[in-house]
Amino acid sequence: MDLRFNDEERAFRQEVRDFIEANLPPETRERMAAGRTPTKDMVVQWQRALNAKGWAVPHWPVEHGGTGWSAIKRFILNEEMQQWPTPTPLAFNCAMVGPVICAFGTDAQKQHFLPRMKNLDDWWCQGFSEPGAGSDLASLKCASKREGDHFIVNGQKTWTTLAQHADWIFVLVRSNPAAAKPQEGISFLLVDMKSPGITVRPIITIDGAHEVNEVWFDDVKVPVENLVGTENKGWDCAKFLLSNERTGQARVGASKERIRRLKRIAAEAPGGATPMLANPRFRDKLTEVETQLKALEMTTLRVLANENKRLGEGKPDPASSVLKIRGTEIQQAISELFVEAAGPYGLVGADPEQDRWNEPELAPEWATLAQPVYFNWRKQSIYGGSNEIQRNIMAKAFLGL
Amino acid sequence: MDFDFSEEQRMLADSLGKLISDRYGFENRKAYAKQPEGWSREIWAAYAEMGILGLPFAEADGGFGGGAVETMIVAEALGGALGLEPWFATVVLGGGFLRHGADAGLRETLVPQVADGSLLLAFAHTEPNARFDLHHVETTATKDGDGWVLRGRKGVVLHGDVAGKLFVTARSAGGVRDEAGIGVFLVDAAASGLTRRGYATSDGLRAAEITLDGVRAEAVLGDAANGLPLVKRVVDDAIAALAAEAVGAMDASLKLTLEYLRTRKQFGRAIGSFQSLQHRAADMMVALEQARSMAMYAAMMTDEPDADERARAMHAVKLQMGRFQKFVGQQSIQLHGGIGMTMEYAVGHYFKRLTVIDTQFGDAEHHLAALSEAGGLFQAA
Ligand SMILES: Cc1cc2nc3c(=O)[nH]c(=O)nc-3n(C[C@H](O)[C@H](O)[C@H](O)COP(=O)(O)OP(=O)(O)OC[C@H]3O[C@@H](n4cnc5c(N)ncnc54)[C@H](O)[C@@H]3O)c2cc1C
C-alpha cells in the first residue's frame, strides 16, 4: 500500500497542466470559473484539442482510440481538467454511447461513429427518460415497429439534455410490447436528429436555463443498421451505460475548484465587519466540506484502483453508488455556501441565457450566479439514478436486505 | 393563551383565501409576472378593496386597526399564492415606518393613500458592503437649511422600481458601522438626484438599485441621529411577516408534494408507497409544524416592548425558519424528481421564494451568530 502519487504520476499531472495551459482559450476558463456552462463552441473546441492529443477517450479500448492508461492516470487527467476548469469531454459521446458501441456495436457502427464521436463531429444526446419512465426506466413506452429495412419510432422522450445542440440521439425503445418482462423487448437505437418526424421542445429549468428538452418522435424512420446489439436486448446496453454514468458523478476535481474559488471570493466578499472568510462560522463550514471532499477523493481512488481487479466480474462496484451520493451531496453543499457568501446580493438573479444582462454591473457576477447555480444543482440528486434509487441499489445488491 | 382565531380573523382568512383561489392560481400568476411591472395592478386594487392594504394601520389614521395576527394571516395567504405584488414592501416595511416612526401629520396624509392602493412604498437600506448588518450605513445625510440632503447607493430595494416614496436610511453622524448617527428619511421617488434601476430577483419578484446623488428628503422620521431602534422595530415586524409568508409557501409546497406522491406512479405503484419517501414527507411535516409555531411566536413577539427580548425572539425565529424552509423547499423538489426542476411547474417557485426569504433581513447563519452573541434564549441557571 502506498497512498501517494508516484513520480511518473506527478510528472503526468504536470504534463496535463501544460497541455491545458497551451490549448484552452482563457475565455472558456473564465466563463466556467464564473459558474456558467460553456457554450457549444467552447465544448467542441476543447474536445477537438484533446482528441488531437489522443486524450479525448482514454478509457475506451485501445483499438478505438483509448490510451490503455491506469485508472489513476485517467483520474489525474479528469481532476486536472475539472480543477482548471475546462469543459468535460461530452459525456453522451465519450462516457455513454461510445463505450456501448465499443462493447456491443457492429464493425460498421464502430468505423463510422466512433471517430466522429471522439472528435465531437457529432454531438450526441441521451434519449432514455420519458414522462412516465424516470426511476422506473424499464417501463418506457416510446415504441418501434420493424418495417422492412427500418424501424418506425413513435413516442416521446423527455429531460433530454442539450438536445438542441445534438446531431444524433441514442434511444431506448419498446420493440416488443408482448415480452414477458418489461426489461425484455427493449432495443437500443441510434437516430439522426435530422430525421423527418423529430421535434425538439425546450424545457426551461428553475434557474432560467435552457438545458433540457422534450424530444418527440412521429413515424421516424431508423435504418436497421442503427440498431445496437441484439434486437429486444437493449436493456443490456442500458445497464452497461448506467453503471458507467455513476462513477463520473463524484466530480472531485470540480468540487476542489469550486472550494478554492469560494475561498478566494470569500476573502474579499463583504461579511459585515470583516470579509466572509474571516467569519469563523463560515470558515468552519467550508473546512468541514473540504474534509468531506477528502474522504470522497480517497474513496474514489480506492474504487478506481479496484477497477482493474473487478473487470472480469461483470458486476458494478458497490462503491459507485457511494460516489454518486456523496459526490452530489458535496457539490450541493458547496453551492449553498456560495449562496451564503453572496448574502443579499444573491437576490440579484442572473439570466444564464444572456451574456450582457449585468451591464452596467448590478452586483458581482459570482454573487448573481450563486442562487441560479444552487437551484440548478438540485438536479444532481435527481438524475443519473436518483440518490434514493442509489440507496435502494445498495440495500438490495450489496447489503443483503 | 389562546391559539384560535377570532370570528373576524377567520373571515379575513376565508375571504382572502377565496380571492386567491379565484384569481391567483399558478397560471394566473404566470400571466401577472409577465405584466410590465412584474405583478398585477388589478389584484392590487382588489386587495385595496378588501381592506388588506390598510389593515395594520390605526383607524384614526385611516386604517382598519389590525394587529400582528391579521398581518400573519395575510402573509401566510400570500405566501401560499406566491404573491408578486408589493404588499410586503408597501404595507409591512413602508407601513411599519409609518406606524412606528411617522408623526400624526404624515400618517394622516400617507396612510389613506396606502390603504386605497395609490401609494407604493419601499425601504431603501441595504448597501453593497453591509451584508446583513443593519447598522452598516455608508449613505450620508447632510443638513441643508432646515432639510437633509442624501448621498449614496442602496441595493436590492424590494419593489424600489415602482415605489412612489421610499424610506431611506442615511448617516447624519458617526462612522460607517456606528449604531448611533443613522437617520430614517422619507424620499419621493421622483426627487431630483434619485436614479433607480429595476430588475427581477432570483425568485421572480422585483427590486432596484438606487443611487442618491444629492437627493433632498421630504421628512426625517424622529431623530436624524437615532433612527436605528426604529429600523430594528420595523425589521422585527418584517421578520414576523416573512415567517408567516414562508409558512404559507411551505404548506403549499408540501401539499403539492403529497399530491404528487399519491398520484405519480413508478414501478407499478404510487411513489408515496415507498417507505423512504413516506419518512421524508413525515419529516417535512415535522418541519412545517414547527415553522408554524415559530411564525405564531414571531407574531406574538412583535408587540414585545423590550427591544432586546424582541430581538432575541426574532433571531430564533429567523434561524429556525431558515432551517425548516430549506429542508421543505429542497425535499419538495427532490420528491418530484425532474418535474420539480422546471419553470413550468409551481413547486420550484416555492423553493426559490423560500431560498430568497432566508436571505432577506439576515439568513439563518446571521441570526444564529447574533443570538449566540446575545447569550441565547435562556438564562444560565
Ligand atoms: C436536469 C436534468 C437533466 C437530465 N438529463 C437527462 C438526459 O439527458 N437523458 C435522459 O434520458 N434523462 C435525463 N434526465 C432524467 C433523469 O434521469 C430522471 O429525472 C430521473 O431518472 C428521475 O426520474 P423522474 O424525474 O421521472 O422522477 P421519478 O422517478 O418520478 O421520481 C420521483 C421521486 O421518487 C423517488 N423514487 C422513485 N422510485 C423510488 C423507489 N423505488 N424508492 C424510493 N424512492 C423512489 C425518486 O428518487 C424521486 O425522489 C435528466 C433529469 C434532469 C433533472
As a whole number of angstroms, the distance between CA A327 and CA B368 comes to 28
Residue that finishes a domain, picked among A237, A272, A298: A237
* The predicted structure's pLDDT at residue B108: 96
Does pLDDT of A311 surpass 60?
A: no
Give pLDDT < 50 ranges for chain B. Answer: none
* Residue A135, amino acid: S
Residue with CA at minimum distance from ligand 1 atom 53: B338
* The predicted structure's pLDDT at residue B348: 98
CB contact (8 A) between residue B341 and residue A382:
yes
Residues B239 and B298: beta-carbon distance below 8 Å:
yes
User: How many structural domains compose chain B?
Assistant: 3
Same domain assignment for residues B300 and B341: yes
Return the C-alpha cell found at B325.
Answer: 424552509
CB contact (8 A) between residue B199 and residue A339:
no
Same domain assignment for residues A25 and A73: yes
Q: Which residue of B has its CA nearest to A279?
A: B369
- Rounded to 5°, angle at Cα B230 from B227 and B233: 155
Q: What is the pLDDT of residues A335-393, one digit of tens each?
A: 999 999 999 999 998 777 777 778 888 899 999 999 999 999 999 999 989 999 999 99
Question: Which residues constitute the domain of residue A29?
Answer: 7-89
Does pLDDT of A219 surpass 80?
A: yes
Does pLDDT of A84 surpass 90?
A: yes
* The predicted structure's pLDDT at residue B224: 97
Q: Which residue of B has its CA nearest to A380?
A: B334
- Model confidence at A316, pLDDT cuts 50, 70, 90, reads low
How many beta-carbon pairs below 8 A join chains A and B?
136
As a whole number of angstroms, the distance between CA A315 and CA B60 comes to 78
**Ligand 1: centre distance to CA A93 (Å):** 21
Query: Which of A188, A113, A96 lies closest to A383, judged by CA?
Result: A96
User: How many structural domains compose chain A?
Assistant: 3
Same domain assignment for residues A256 and A182: no
Same domain assignment for residues A229 and A254: no
Same domain assignment for residues A148 and A232: yes
For A134, which of B209, B266, B344 is closest by C-beta distance? B266
Q: Is the ipTM of this complex over 0.95?
A: yes
Q: Is residue B169 a part of any domain in this protein?
A: yes
Question: Which residues constitute the domain of residue B49?
Answer: 7-88+97-118
User: Which CATH number fits the domain that encloses residue B112?
Assistant: 1.10.540.10
Average pLDDT, chain A: 93
- pTM of the prediction? 0.97
What is the separation of C-alpha A41 from the centre of its chain, rounded to a whole number of angstroms?
18
Same domain assignment for residues B258 and B348: yes
As a whole number of angstroms, the distance between CA B281 and CA B327 comes to 11
The secondary structure element, H or E, covering residue B213 is: strand B206-216
What is the distance in angstroms between the Cα of A344 and the nearest Cα belonging to chain B? 6
User: Which CATH number fits the domain that encloses residue A374?
Assistant: 1.20.140.10
Percentage of chain A beyond pLDDT 70 is 97
CB contact (8 A) between residue B202 and residue A134:
no
- The size of chain A, in residues, is 401
* The predicted structure's pLDDT at residue A248: 73
Same domain assignment for residues A366 and A322: yes
Q: Is residue A100 a part of any domain in this protein?
A: no
Q: Per residue in A12-37, is it b (16+ CB within 10 Å) or e — as a string?
A: bbeebeebbeeebeeebbebbeebbb
